[in-house]
């Protein structure tokens, strides 16, 4: 009975993915939506990847990091440089770029993972903030990255016309992270979050799992960066500052930390919202901020608690 | 179980509603834009030509985008009040729609696409170099006429559909070199440039190559950083040369310190500055230190010609502030598009783009504004001289004053 239920859950998740894919493809094919929304498809996917990968650190490992955009920029720059300079046919160079971008970002994850072993909480947050600023300054001064004026002329290979590829990458990130969390390693990561000392006493190698979470998260942020780079075709160091990191963090927090589905929904909403608010012209950012505050308040309200409690009760009574 | 289906159903509903939102958002913003729009075109206007505008309205560069939007608005209102634009046998009234790109590249792409959803016929934008580059290839694929008021990076106009109103940094350097050699008669030029950004180094490169081409000698070539406050090392070095002029390629903050320290040192070589000098009089403690200095500026709001004073007074009346270079560039961009429409006799993109190479207008930012085959502007540069503690047009030559179209 339980096995059947598990099977059903998997089927439903696949069903949701297929339905979304088909709907978006149909929208692209038949021009149901305007160009503005079409151009938002890939940013939505990259933000979903960013939010889900950050969710691993913030939601499951329980550490606050303010430098996620730095991993993204490392991946974006290295992936873009590879695909621009390798004498390979387009698709192959993009594939190599994706791998290289992810791996280089993962290496950066190892570098930042070392201080992580010593620091917790607010201190770690500040270290990652500093790390992000350092990465930004490095890209600002390096000649190969085009300095402050940016790296331009990146081939447009992950625009919405290649939605299938971007969608598959996004699915991979979501599937890997959600399966990781359910695995032995994932439970160890969650144990560190829930009680550090108890986890250590139970024989969990805390440092190993912490670095692991950081590296996996950085890898996927790097992949998201490569997709970003090949969608916009120009990279500037200033676009990966702490504001971007905080934007991603807001998505994870709004989605309810530790909920992958929540992170995805929050990423979709928060990416589309500023665009859908173009109609209110001058008040756009004001309305956006107010909506953000209202959503956060709702997330923490008694009203939502009641809703959740009722849902839980219905579930329990049905199972009984 | 039921919950799962509900969840799937809701997801589908959300996707669909977002799709629906796309259309309604487009028309909403169009309605909002036309609401904030001026009076509709004058009598006789039978069709609408939509001018898109793009620039940062929020974020740290917001002042640029706001200036550009207001500059476009003034020009559009003025043209409509004068009866619109006649291209071929149709008279068009202009309409502006403006999108916020926050001066970031990814937002620029979606801002551009939201403008295309509103069927713009030509684009005045983007305001910043990065955003220009982000939309360069897609706008070329759409074959849309793009006139950037202020994107000074070289690659902003690399595609045949793109033109610019402002000088590139290199061209500004060349203009300065030309002025120093031919107007001031300098043979030995000392250069002080900011190496903190493309701005200073770009001007320096253009200046040095042009000056050498004109037969002048660069006797000093000294760098500084935008945040520097002590320039004694560089100035001492320049003092030891036989320089006829010191060209300072940087912003007014640095210029303030440089002129003061040069005066303290007893250096009596005239100064020539880049357009970043605009505002230097407001920051110096003693105007005597910058007395006689000349700098390049494409727009001078205190100019007395009819066109500039008319623009400045309308602008001040509507927005309560003095227009800057961005507003003037955007204003000129709209008039350039108007001239291209009249020249082409249609609003077909291909015709408009090829007509751009034939138009010539007298703009706020320079008389005889025209475009070469690369989309770069050819226009007379304006030089501002500081005399008696006030900005004046260099040479104050009444014969060269521009007249409004």
The domains found in chain B, sorted by start residue, are 41-166+306-380 (3.40.50.2300), 170-297 (3.40.50.2300)
Q: Helix, strand, or coil here: A171?
A: helix
What per-residue confidence (pLDDT) applies to B68? 93
pLDDT for the residue B353: 93
| Number of alpha helices (DSSP H) and beta strands (DSSP E) in chain B | 12, 16
- CB–CB contact B8 A37 (8 Å): no
**Rounded CA gap, A187 and A176, in Å?**
14
Which residues of chain B have a CB within 8 Å of the CB of A23? Answer: 12, 15-16, 19
Q: Which two tokens stand for residue B362?
A: 């007298």
Q: Check CB contact of B350 with chain A, cutoff 8 Å.
A: no
Buried/exposed code over B352-362 (b: 16+ C-beta within 10 A; e: otherwise): bbebbeebebb
What was the pLDDT predicted at A105? 96
A139-153, A286-300, B391-405: range with highest mean pLDDT? A286-300
Please report residues of A whose CB lies closer than 8 A to that of B13.
none
How far, CA to CA in Å, does A267 sit from each of A52, A224, A260? 9, 13, 10
Task: Tell me how crowded residue B279 is: count the other CB atoms within 10 A of its CB.
Answer: 14
Average pLDDT, chain A: 88
Task: Give whole-number Cα distances, B215 to B186, B211, B218, B245, B248, in Å.
Answer: 10, 6, 10, 15, 20
pLDDT tens digits, one per residue of A257-277: 888 999 999 999 999 998 888
**H or E, element range at B383:** strand B383-387
- Which residues 270-309 of A have a C-beta within 8 angstroms of B? 272, 275-276, 278-282, 284-285
Cα–Cα nearest to B198, from A138, A146, A145, A154: A146
Q: What per-residue confidence (pLDDT) applies to A1?
A: 54
CA distances from B112 to A151, B29, B116, B151 (A): 20, 14, 6, 15
Question: How much is the average pLDDT of A16-25?
Answer: 91
pLDDT score, position A320:
65
List, as ranges, residues 4-33 from A with C-beta within 8 Å of B.
8-9, 12, 15-16, 19-20, 23-24, 27, 32-33
* Nearest chain A alpha carbon to B142: A35
User: Are the C-beta atoms of A117 and A210 separated by less than 8 Å?
Assistant: yes
Residues contacting residue B109 through CB under 8 Å, at least 6 positions apart: A39, A231, A232, B134, B135, B138
State in Å, rounded, how far the first CA of chain A is from the last one. 14
Kind and range of the H or E run holding B164: strand B162-164
Residue in B21, B116, B133 closest to A35 by CB: B116
Q: What local confidence, expressed as pLDDT, does residue B59 receive? A: 78
B113 in contact with chain A, both atoms CB, cutoff 8 A = yes
Residuewise pLDDT in 10s, chain B (405 residues): 444 444 444 444 444 444 444 333 333 334 334 433 334 434 444 689 999 999 998 877 888 899 999 999 999 999 999 988 988 888 999 999 999 988 888 889 999 999 999 999 999 988 888 889 889 888 998 999 999 998 888 888 889 999 999 888 888 899 999 999 998 899 999 999 987 777 788 889 899 999 999 999 999 999 888 778 899 999 999 999 999 999 999 888 889 999 999 999 988 899 999 888 877 887 888 888 888 899 988 788 877 788 889 999 999 999 988 888 889 999 999 999 999 999 998 889 999 999 999 999 888 888 888 998 888 888 878 888 888 888 888 876 433 333 333
Whether A276 and B110 lie within 8 Å, measured CB to CB: no
Q: Is B402:B362 a contact under the CB 8 Å cutoff?
A: yes
Task: Please state which of the ranges A11-15, A126-130, A179-183, B9-13 shows the lowest mean pLDDT.
Answer: B9-13
Least CB–CB distance from A280: residue in B5, B32, B197: B32
- Give the whole-angstrom CA distance, residue A241 versus residue A136: 7
From the list B8, B105, B110, the residue facing A275 with the nearest CB is B110
Assess B3–A contact: CB distance below 8 Å, yes or no: yes
pLDDT at A282: 77
B126 in reach of chain A (CB within 8 A): no
In this structure, chain B runs to a length of 405
Residue of A nearest to B60 (CA): A238
Mention every residue, 6+ apart, whose C-beta is less than 8 A from residue B369.
Answer: B165, B332, B336, B360, B361, B362, B363, B377, B378, B379
Q: How far apart are alpha carbons A49 and A268 in whole angstroms?
A: 11
- In Å, how far is B396's CA from the nearest CA of chain A? 37
Tokens coding A173: 């990130």
Distance CA A237, CA A133 (A): 10
Query: Quick check: B84 and B93 in contact, CB under 8 A?
Result: yes
Which of B156, B62, B66, B161 is CA-nearest to residue B104?
Answer: B62
B144 has a chain A CB within 8 A of its CB: no
- Residue A120: C-alpha distances to residues A128, A250, A258, A271, B310 (Å): 11, 20, 18, 30, 62
Q: Under a CB-based contact definition with an 8 Å cutoff, are residues A134 and A71 in contact?
A: no
Q: Flag whether residue B399 sits within 8 Å of chain A, measured between CB atoms.
A: no
Q: What is the pLDDT of residues A206-261, one digit of tens each?
A: 888 989 999 999 999 999 999 999 998 889 888 888 889 999 999 999 988 888 99
The Cα-based distances of A182 to A56, A194, A214 in angstroms read: 12, 15, 17
Are A239 and B113 in contact (CB < 8 Å)?
no
| Non-local CB neighbours of A119 within 8 Å, separated by 6+ positions | A127
pLDDT of residue B213: 92
Q: What is the ipTM of this complex?
A: 0.83
In contact, A131 and A116? CB cutoff 8 Å: no
Encoding tokens for residue B223?
């760098």
Which ranges constitute the DSSP H helices of B45-128? 62-81, 105-117
B153 and A CB contact within 8 Å: yes
Residue B199 has a pLDDT of 79
- Please tell me the distance in Å from A30's CA to the nearest CA on chain B: 12
Task: In whole angstroms, give the CA distance from residue B94 to residue B333.
Answer: 13
- Measured between CB atoms, does B40 come within 8 Å of chain A? no
Helix (H) / strand (E) containing A212: helix A206-232
Report CB contact under 8 Å: B137, A9: no
Residue A168 forms contact with B (CB below 8 Å): no
Bridge partners of B377, per DSSP, are B371
DSSP state of A177: H
Smallest Cβ–Cβ distance between B19 and the set A15, A27, A150 belongs to: A27
Residue of A190, A171, A197 whose CA lies nearest to A60: A190
Judged against a pLDDT cut of 80, whether residue A4 lies above it is answered with no
Mean pLDDT confidence for A307-319:
82
CA A118 to chain centroid, in Å, comes to 25
């Amino acid at each position: 009975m339980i096995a059947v239920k598990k099977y059903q859950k998997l089927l439903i998740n696949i069903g949701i993915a297929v339905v979304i894919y088909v709907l978006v493809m149909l929208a692209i094919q038949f021009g149901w939506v305007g160009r503005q929304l079409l151009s938002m498809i890939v940013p939505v996917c990259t933000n979903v990847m960013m939010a889900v990968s950050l969710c691993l650190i913030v939601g499951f490992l329980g550490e606050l990091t303010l430098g996620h955009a730095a991993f993204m920029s490392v991946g974006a720059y290295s992936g873009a440089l590879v695909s621009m300079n390798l004498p390979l046919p387009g698709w192959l160079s993009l594939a190599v770029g994706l791998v290289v971008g992810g791996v280089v970002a993962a290496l950066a994850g190892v570098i930042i993972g070392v201080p992580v072993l010593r620091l917790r909480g607010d201190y770690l947050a500040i270290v990652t903030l500093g790390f992000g600023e350092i990465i930004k300054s490095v890209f600002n001064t390096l000649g190969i990255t085009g300095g402050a004026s940016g790296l331009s002329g990146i081939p447009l290979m992950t625009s919405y016309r290649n939605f299938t590829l971007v969608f598959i990458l996004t699915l991979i990130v979501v599937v890997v992270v959600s399966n990781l969390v359910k695995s032995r390693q994932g439970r160890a990561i969650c144990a560190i979050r829930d009680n550090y000392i108890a986890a250590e006493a139970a024989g969990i190698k805390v440092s190993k799992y912490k670095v692991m979470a950081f590296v996996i998260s950085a890898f996927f942020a790097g992949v998201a960066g490569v997709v970003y780079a090949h969608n916009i075709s120009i990279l500037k160091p200033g676009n990966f500052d702490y504001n971007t990191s905080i934007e991603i963090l807001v998505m994870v927090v709004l989605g309810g930390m530790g909920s992958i589905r929540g992170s995805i929904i929050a990423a979709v909403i928060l990416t589309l919202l500023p665009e859908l608010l173009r109609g209110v012209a001058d008040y756009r950012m004001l309305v956006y901020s107010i909506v953000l505050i209202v959503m956060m308040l709702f997330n923490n309200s008694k009203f939502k608690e009641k809703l959740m409690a009722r849902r839980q009760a219905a579930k329990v009574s049905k199972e009984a | 179980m039921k919950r799962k289906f509900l969840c799937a159903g809701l997801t589908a509903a959300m996707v669909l509603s977002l799709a629906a939102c796309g259309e309604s958002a487009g028309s909403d913003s169009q309605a909002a834009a036309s609401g904030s729009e001026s009076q509709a075109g004058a009598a006789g206007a039978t069709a609408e030509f939509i001018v898109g505008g793009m620039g940062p309205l929020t974020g740290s560069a917001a002042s640029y985008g706001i200036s550009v939007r207001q500059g476009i608005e003034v020009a559009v209102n003025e043209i409509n009040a004068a009866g619109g634009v006649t291209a071929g046998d149709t008279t068009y009234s202009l309409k502006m729609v403006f999108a916020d790109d926050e001066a970031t590249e990814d937002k620029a792409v979606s801002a551009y696409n939201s403008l295309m959803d509103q069927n713009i016929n030509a684009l005045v934008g983007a305001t910043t170099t990065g955003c220009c580059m982000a939309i360069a290839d897609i706008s070329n694929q759409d074959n849309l006429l793009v006139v950037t008021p202020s994107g000074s990076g070289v690659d902003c106009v690399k595609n045949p559909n793109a033109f610019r109103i402002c000088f590139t940094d290199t061209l500004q350097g060349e203009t300065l070199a030309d002025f120093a050699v031919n107007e001031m008669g300098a043979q030995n030029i000392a250069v002080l440039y900011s190496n903190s950004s493309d701005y200073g180094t770009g001007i320096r490169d253009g200046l040095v190559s042009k000056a050498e081409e004109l037969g002048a000698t660069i006797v000093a070539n000294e760098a500084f950083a935008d945040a520097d406050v002590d320039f004694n090392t560089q100035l001492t070095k320049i003092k030891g040369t036989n320089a006829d002029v010191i060209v300072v390629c940087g912003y007014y903050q640095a210029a303030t310190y440089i002129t003061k320290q040069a005066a303290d040192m007893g250096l009596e070589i005239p100064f020539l500055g880049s357009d970043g000098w605009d505002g230097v009089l407001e920051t110096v403690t003693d105007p005597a230190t910058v007395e006689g200095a000349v700098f390049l500026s494409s727009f001078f709001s205190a100019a007395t010609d009819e066109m500039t004073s008319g623009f400045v007074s309308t602008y001040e009346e509507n927005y309560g502030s003095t227009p800057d270079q961005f507003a003037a560039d955007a204003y000129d961009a709209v008039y350039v598009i108007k001239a291209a429409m009249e020249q082409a006799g249609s609003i077909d993109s291909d015709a408009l783009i090829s007509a751009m190479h034939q138009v010539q207008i007298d703009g706020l930012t320079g008389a005889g504004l025209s475009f070469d085959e690369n989309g770069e502007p050819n226009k007379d540069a304006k030089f501002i001289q500081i005399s008696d503690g006030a900005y004046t047009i260099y040479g104050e030559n009444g014969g060269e004053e521009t007249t409004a179209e």
